[in-house]
Amino acid sequence: MKAIGYFREPPAAKRGESLAAQNKAFLAYCEEHGYDVAMTFVDSADTNGDAPKTAERGGFRQLVDYLRRPELGFVLVVARSLGGLGGARQEATRRYFQLEGLGAKVAFLDGSEDPLSELVDEWSAESEDQNNLGDRVRAAMRRKAVRGEVLGRPPYGYKVGSRRRLELIPDEAVVVRYIFRLYLQEGMGIRLIARRLNEEGLRTRRGGNWSMVSIRDILRNRVYLGTYSRFGVRVPGSHPALVSPDDFRAVQDRLSARRNNYAQRKPTPFLLAGLVRCGHCGNKMIGVSRRQSWKRRSGSEGNASYRYYQCETRTNQSMCDYHTQRAEALEEHVRSELAGLDVDALLPQAGNGDGVVAEWEEKSNRLHVRMRQLDRRLNEQLTAAGKGRISREQLRKLNIATASNQLKLEEELEEIQRRLQEHVNAGERSRGRQRTLAALLDGWATLPINEKQTHLRDLVDRVVVRDDGLQMLLRP
């Protein structure tokens, strides 16, 4: 069997933990067990587990690449200890399952025979203390909910008043009653209701236009019955109602009937989703699919499917006009514009370099949030195993899946870091664009849609569409 060493430089000179000492112990371990030494990988003490701080890939990232080689076969990864896989226990736990997800067996020089059991025992002890605190917090929140005290942001139509109870905002309450009356008594659909409110100059709490989503959320919210619901607690009559129980039930029946009439559809992704803007109102254009059926004179039936990009303002708010563009024609127009593009000269610029950097940093923040969510899932699954709710084998499968998803996020973070560094170097940025453009045009007919979208978003900031043509704005 091939053995791979993975070592971390200690944060301070600790006796017996130097890189030389770890390597010596690794070689002795391989000789004792008859393993062939394949490679060793090293990380410095300040390596960040989520993404490298420099363009140079860290030792763990290089180890991951090495393990993905198809000809490698079954291997053993040897580290100093479980803690030696990462700078913190959370990172070490994540990496342990990532390595197993890549098909490697993990062993430790400190003699740990069953690291999975050790992990479960450690997390169980710690989570018990955390759960006691969490239970106390939830109990306090629940007591507030029982008293009808508002937790979180109040819904449209209400404000937080005395004794933290919901109180009416008269102007907003009128709009809520108006929405229910238009839907129930005048039989208007939610799209037409949004259009009516927008045309009459009524605005949401944030001063924006009404949309189908905002109207539907109000029609479904039980708070307008005067019932406050949080943490599984329902307090009827806790605040003034804006709709009667009979009317609310009739609204829900109509909403359910309309929902059940829709056939289940498989959404097909649109290549330019998120890039296309309406040149008349400035809002996004969204992909819309339509099916049409007809009968021929012969009696046979025909049907066809059509795909469009359509102004979202019209679709969701009944404002603007449709300004519909056939998807195939618009996508081909964009391809043609890209084919005639001089990347060095660029086309009209969209925004500035600071805007691009801010966008990447925002995406990086979102990925870090997702990473923390997956870390919590790892912890919950370890705790569940400690309480006997799932078996050790189930735990291994679940945590390998979770850690594998985390690894993908880490790689996305690494790619963002690479782009930020590439952005600093104008020459490299130009060469990167040339490579991206060549890859996109060469693979236009063969690349998977997600790869084409990635290439497009690397080059194009937005495509502004008017009835008489389009303007493609490139990233700076």
The pLDDT tens digits of the residues spanning 206-223 come to 888 898 889 999 999 989
Tell me the average pLDDT of the chain: 81
Indicate the burial class of 333 (C-beta count within 10 angstroms; 0-12, 13-18, 19 or more). Answer: middle
The pLDDT, as a whole number, for residue 55 is: 40
> What is the rounded distance in angstroms from the CA atom of residue 189 to the CA atom of residue 249?
17
* C-alpha separations of 137 from 134, 142, 150, 231 in Å: 5, 9, 16, 12
- The fold adopted by the segment(s) 2-113 is Rossmann fold (3.40.50)
Could you tell me the residue ranges of all domains in the chain? Answer: 2-113, 158-260, 353-474
Between residues 333 and 127, which one has the greater pLDDT?
333
Between residues 31 and 10, which one has the greater pLDDT?
31
Q: Residue 41, by phi and psi: left (phi above 0), alpha (psi -120 to 50) or beta?
A: beta
pLDDT tens per residue, range 55-67: 446 889 899 989 8
The class that CATH gives domain 158-260 is alpha beta
Contact indicator for 91, 51 with CB cutoff of 8 Å: no
Q: What share of the chain is helix, strand, coil (3-state, %, to 5)?
A: 50, 15, 35
Q: What is the pTM of this model?
A: 0.48
Contact indicator for 142, 228 with CB cutoff of 8 Å: no
Residue 152 CA to chain centroid, in angstroms? 23
